[in-house]
């Protein structure tokens, strides 16, 4: 009823004509869909922690250089498959062997569907190629290094006024030898291709839907533990909505009720509410948040193993600090509405005062509630990032804040995929809410200075 009146109001019509606001609403809706998808099991917490490829893999935009390709191949064969396959070889019974094979899976990418012995035989072939390739690589590396030195020496010798001919010959001999080595090592790319083919046979990229899912997981690269960044980002969208929605709804409700009570009843109710409001707003916001989070330390809400409960301190801290602003705004508005004729008339007729507040006063502040909701939503999302960085925020599950805070070291080594993915996702949602709250303010409260 209250909502119906609000949706039919003049401001709402004005809002609907605002194209930017409509686009922003659509974007928010899209995010909400993602969040709901994650909430109903589309992206589980385990998914965000499961390794899908090697650490810090760049995403789709970055072309892979030869060095990175070689490094990846080396990782895949030596670091990832070797221990699992060797463990499988040593396994005493079929079950533990199968278990070792299972551990080699990377997300949707499992070992080929072959009998165990064949898998091990395949691996042996691959390992053979790998060893040869590795050796060539090492030889090439050494040769390159030596060549550099010898060439410098040779140039230096030749530049001398009286070059020592023996020395020059000796150096040239060395150079020739290492050049020969390099020539042999030129076979390395071929071997690498063979190895890659072998590994693909042993550990094929799945086809069909699982393959698409697997490739999609690699779009935005992997984090420092090899988990998919985009999966983390999508899961974090859910967390952002959880935090934003719960705290904004809570804070708006508390703020509206207390603000309306303070504004309408005045006197000691007003004094008491305003005392709480000024108390809470006299403590710097981050300090208050931090202290409130500390309050929950050591309780069941401070346990990484139960991430859903670990969000409660955040809800409580944001809820307790955010309602203050809403309360002030609503109180001011209610004081204005209270003086309006129809409220005076309702009082004169003799309606009960709580009835007047709920029936005549609060419905006229719905637009402020919506504006405050979207402002607080933004504040909660941004606050989460900061608290997570300070170690007081989300625990035991990925959030945009955790992703950004933890990518500090990645950034200093030049890997931007995790921070940029989190930032881009956050940017879209916060920008949409910023535009929407501006449009709401324009439509309902054009004189307001924010």
Does 10 interact with other proteins (rule: CB under 8 A)? no
| Token pair in block for residue 316 | 């409580």
Does 149 interact with other proteins (rule: CB under 8 A)? no
Scanning 284-340, the segments in alpha helix (DSSP H) are: 285-295, 307-310, 312-338
SS3 40: coil
Region binding other proteins by CB under 8 A among candidate stretches 43-51, 86-94, 138-146, 280-288:
280-288
What torsion, rounded to 10 degrees, do the Cα atoms 111, 115, 116, 122 define? -70
Does 268 interact with other proteins (rule: CB under 8 A)? no
Region binding other proteins by CB under 8 A among candidate stretches 76-84, 115-123, 147-155, 282-290:
282-290
- 45 or 386: whose CB is closer to other proteins? 386
Does 165 interact with other proteins (rule: CB under 8 A)? no
Report the residue from 1, 162, 287, 349 that binds other proteins according to the rule CB under 8 A: 287
Distance between first and last Cα of the chain: 29
Does 258 interact with other proteins (rule: CB under 8 A)? no
Does 386 interact with other proteins (rule: CB under 8 A)? yes
- 275 or 355: whose CB is closer to other proteins? 275
- Say how far apart CA 173 and CA 221 lie, in whole Å: 47
Region binding other proteins by CB under 8 A among candidate stretches 25-33, 84-92, 137-145, 381-389:
381-389
H or E element, residue 251: helix 229-265
Does 303 interact with other proteins (rule: CB under 8 A)? no
Report the residue from 283, 300, 345, 352 that binds other proteins according to the rule CB under 8 A: 283
For residues 320 and 292, is the Cβ–Cβ distance under 8 A? Answer: yes
Report the residue from 294, 300, 308, 340 that binds other proteins according to the rule CB under 8 A: 294
For residues 90 and 82, is the Cβ–Cβ distance under 8 A? Answer: no
Region binding other proteins by CB under 8 A among candidate stretches 47-55, 206-214, 277-285, 336-344:
277-285
Report the residue from 96, 98, 103, 299 that binds other proteins according to the rule CB under 8 A: 299
CB of 288 to other proteins, least distance (A): 8
CB of 60 to other proteins, least distance (A): 21
- 63 or 298: whose CB is closer to other proteins? 298
- Say how far apart CA 446 and CA 12 lie, in whole Å: 13
Binders of other proteins among 402-431, rule CB under 8 A?
404-405, 407-408, 411-412, 419, 423, 426-427, 430-431
CB of 171 to other proteins, least distance (A): 31
Please give the angle made by the CA atoms of 165, 166 and 171, to the nearest 5 degrees: 100
- 200 or 411: whose CB is closer to other proteins? 411
Please give the angle made by the CA atoms of 439, 445 and 446, to the nearest 5 degrees: 75
Region binding other proteins by CB under 8 A among candidate stretches 142-150, 156-164, 196-204, 273-281:
273-281
Does 143 interact with other proteins (rule: CB under 8 A)? no
CB of 391 to other proteins, least distance (A): 6
- Say how far apart CA 142 and CA 181 lie, in whole Å: 9
- Burial code (b: 16+ CB inside 10 Å, e: under 16) for 69-108 equals ebeebbbbbeebbbebbebbeebeeeeebeebbeebebbb
For residues 384 and 425, is the Cβ–Cβ distance under 8 A? Answer: no
- Say how far apart CA 424 and CA 302 lie, in whole Å: 29
**Burial classification of residue 186, based on how many CB atoms lie within 10 Å of its CB (0-12 exposed, 13-18 middle, 19 or more buried):** exposed
CB of 286 to other proteins, least distance (A): 5
Does 184 interact with other proteins (rule: CB under 8 A)? no
- 320 or 343: whose CB is closer to other proteins? 320
Report the residue from 401, 415, 439, 443 that binds other proteins according to the rule CB under 8 A: 401
Binders of other proteins among 25-84, rule CB under 8 A?
none
Q: Is 293 left (phi over 0), alpha (psi -120 to 50) or beta?
A: alpha
- Say how far apart CA 437 and CA 336 lie, in whole Å: 22
Report the residue from 239, 273, 314, 385 that binds other proteins according to the rule CB under 8 A: 385
Among 26, 116, 96, residue whose Cα is nearest residue 432:
26
Which residues make up the interface to other proteins (CB under 8 A)?
A: 17, 275-276, 278-280, 282-284, 286-287, 290-292, 294-299, 382, 385-386, 389-392, 400-401, 404-405, 407-408, 411-412, 419, 423, 426-427, 430-431, 434-435, 438, 447, 449-450
């Amino acid at each position: 009823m209250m909502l119906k009146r609000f949706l039919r109001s003049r401001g709402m019509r004005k809002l609907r004509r605002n194209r930017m606001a409509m686009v922003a609403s659509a974007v928010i809706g899209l995010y909400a869909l993602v969040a709901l998808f994650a909430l109903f099991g589309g992206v589980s917490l385990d998914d965000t922690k499961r390794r899908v490829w090697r650490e810090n893999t760049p995403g789709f935009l970055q072309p892979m250089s030869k060095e990175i390709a070689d490094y990846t191949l080396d990782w895949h064969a030596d670091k990832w498959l070797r221990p699992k396959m060797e463990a499988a070889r040593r396994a005493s019974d079929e079950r533990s062997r199968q278990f070792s094979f299972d551990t080699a899976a990377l997300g949707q990418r499992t070992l080929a569907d072959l009998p165990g012995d064949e898998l091990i035989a395949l691996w042996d072939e691959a390992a053979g190629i790998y060893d040869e390739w590795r050796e060539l690589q090492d030889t090439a590396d050494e040769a390159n290094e030596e060549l550099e030195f010898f060439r410098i020496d040779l140039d230096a010798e030749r530049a001398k006024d009286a070059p020592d001919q023996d020395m020059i010959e000796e150096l040239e001999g060395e150079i020739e030898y290492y050049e020969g080595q390099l020539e042999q090592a030129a076979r390395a790319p071929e071997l690498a291709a063979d190895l890659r083919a072998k590994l693909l046979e042993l550990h094929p990229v799945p086809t069909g839907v699982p393959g698409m899912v697997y490739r999609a997981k690699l779009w935005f690269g992997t984090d420092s533990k090899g988990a998919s960044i985009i999966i983390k980002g999508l899961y974090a969208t859910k967390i952002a909505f959880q935090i934003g929605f719960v705290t904004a709804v809570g804070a708006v409700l508390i703020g509206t009720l207390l603000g309306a009570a303070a504004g309408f009843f005045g006197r000691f109710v007003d004094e008491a509410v305003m005392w709480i409001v000024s108390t809470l707003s006299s403590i710097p916001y981050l300090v208050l948040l931090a202290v409130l989070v500390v309050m929950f330390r050591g309780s069941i809400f401070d346990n990484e193993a139960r991430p859903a409960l670990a969000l409660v301190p955040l809800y409580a801290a944001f809820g307790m600090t955010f309602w203050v602003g809403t309360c002030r705004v609503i109180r001011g508005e209610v004081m204005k509405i209270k003086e309006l004729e129809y409220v005076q008339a309702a009082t004169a007729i003799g309606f009960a005062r709580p009835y007047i507040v709920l029936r005549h006063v609060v419905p006229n502040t719905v637009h402020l509630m919506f504006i405050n909701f979207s402002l607080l939503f933004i504040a909660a999302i941004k606050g989460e990032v900061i608290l997570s960085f300070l170690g007081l925020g989300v625990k035991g599950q990925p959030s945009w804040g955790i992703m950004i805070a933890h990518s500090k070291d990645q950034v200093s080594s030049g890997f931007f995929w995790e921070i940029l993915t989190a930032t881009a996702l956050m940017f879209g949602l916060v920008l949409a809410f910023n535009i929407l709250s501006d449009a709401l303010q324009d439509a309902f409260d054009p004189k307001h200075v924010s």
